């Protein structure tokens, strides 16, 4: 069967088949999510140079992969990196080397560059194992952490602020994080999920907001049993208590991502999160996400903020001629999330 599987370029005509395939490929273990999109390729259009390839058997789509070429700054050198993402293979065809063929063909098309990397959820054991196989034994793994803030009541954000451009906040973020590595060129025209950028009055703290609403939305496939019980038990209290929202099966999670998040001190971290929380309430969102390098000093300050926040493991996996070291603190490109 393996010899009959063809690897071909994705076209718009493949969109419906690709969306059906994604329904078969939920992410995670206890909490399982899948992505909902109007078009599969919309997410890739945030990159200047990308490829999407399909695996087909007798004309039917059984797998897909995407990759984007980037120029990144690493240790004062400009390098060429390939970001691998959206790798999906139908459950019935995962034992025929389909994923490996997809990735190898993609890298032949794009070129391997100086390094290849991917971002993988810590709970997605199948994707982690596949990424480790595809990227090889000499890969480097850097732990990341998702901070997920439930949005359910207004908070005291005792500060003035103004809106600005995503580029302004990005520049200020880099000024506050001069040791950060793996920085891509910043092109506002490609930031299609950017919603708003905020700086405090003293301009020493700020963040930008990204939404995947028009690119890919998260839908809950399975909720852990303990959360289902909690949801049922808390329903009677919602009329007189403001409690965190617990998603139910098939619900679309209404979320924002915070990025280029920088703060003058620990006090301003709580102020910024409170400000983002209040803006999210006004927009009808139920979660805020912030993906950070696990060694980022802001992460411990977020843990100490006293806010109700869930922390979820994530991984940056890379291999190649020029890569970050395991001690480097890397920049998280919001387009990759």
CA distances from 180 to 13, 76, 147, 325 (A): 41, 11, 19, 12
Q: Which residues of 175-200 are buried (b: 16+ CB within 10 A; e: fewer)?
A: ebbeebbbbbeeeeeebbbbebbbbb
Percent residues over pLDDT 90 in the chain: 60
Model pLDDT, residue 186 = 94
Q: What is the pLDDT of residues 47-105, one digit of tens each?
A: 999 999 999 999 999 999 999 999 999 999 999 999 999 999 998 888 888 999 999 99
pLDDT greater than 80 at residue 114: yes
pLDDT for position 80: 97
Boundaries of CATH 3.40.630.30 in the chain? 2-142
Q: What is the CATH number of domain 2-142?
A: 3.40.630.30
Note the CATH number of domain 147-336. 3.40.630
Reply yes or no on whether the pLDDT at 304 is more than 70: yes
- The whole-chain average pLDDT of the chain stands at 86
Mean pLDDT computed over 240-261: 70
Give pLDDT tens digits for 136-170: 888 999 999 999 999 988 998 878 899 999 999 99
């Amino acid at each position: 069967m393996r010899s009959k599987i063809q690897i071909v370029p994705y076209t718009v005509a493949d969109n419906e088949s690709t969306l059906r395939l994604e329904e078969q490929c939920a992410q995670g273990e206890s909490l399982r999510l899948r992505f909902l999109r109007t078009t599969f390729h919309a997410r890739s259009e945030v990159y200047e140079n990308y490829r999407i390839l399909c695996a087909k058997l007798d004309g039917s789509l059984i797998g897909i992969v995407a990759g984007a070429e980037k120029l990144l700054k690493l240790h004062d050198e400009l390098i060429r990196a390939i970001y691998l993402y959206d790798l999906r293979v139908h459950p019935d065809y995962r034992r025929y080397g389909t994923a490996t063929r997809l990735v190898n063909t993609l890298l032949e098309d794009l070129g391997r560059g100086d390094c290849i990397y991917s971002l993988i959820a810590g709970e997605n054991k199948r994707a982690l194992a596949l990424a480790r196989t595809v990227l090889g034994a000499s890969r480097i793994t850097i732990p990341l952490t998702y901070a997920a803030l439930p949005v359910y009541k207004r908070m005291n954000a005792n500060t003035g602020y103004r809106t600005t451009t995503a580029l302004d906040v990005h520049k200020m973020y880099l000024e506050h994080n001069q040791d950060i590595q793996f920085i891509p060129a910043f092109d506002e025209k490609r930031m299609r999920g950017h919603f708003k950028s905020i700086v405090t009055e003293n301009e020493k703290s700020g963040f930008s907001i990204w939404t995947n609403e028009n690119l890919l939305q998260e839908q809950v496939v399975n909720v852990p049993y303990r959360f289902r019980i909690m949801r049922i038990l808390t329903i009677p209290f919602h009329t007189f208590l403001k409690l965190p929202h617990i998603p139910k099966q098939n619900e679309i999670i209404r979320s924002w991502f915070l990025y280029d998040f920088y703060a003058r001190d620990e006090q301003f971290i709580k102020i910024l999160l409170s400000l983002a929380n209040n803006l999210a309430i006004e927009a009808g969102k139920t979660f805020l996400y912030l993906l950070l390098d696990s060694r980022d000093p802001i992460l411990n300050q977020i843990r100490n903020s006293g806010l109700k926040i869930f922390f979820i493991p994530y991984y940056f996996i890379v291999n190649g001629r020029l890569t970050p070291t395991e001690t480097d603190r890397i920049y998280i490109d919001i387009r990759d999330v």
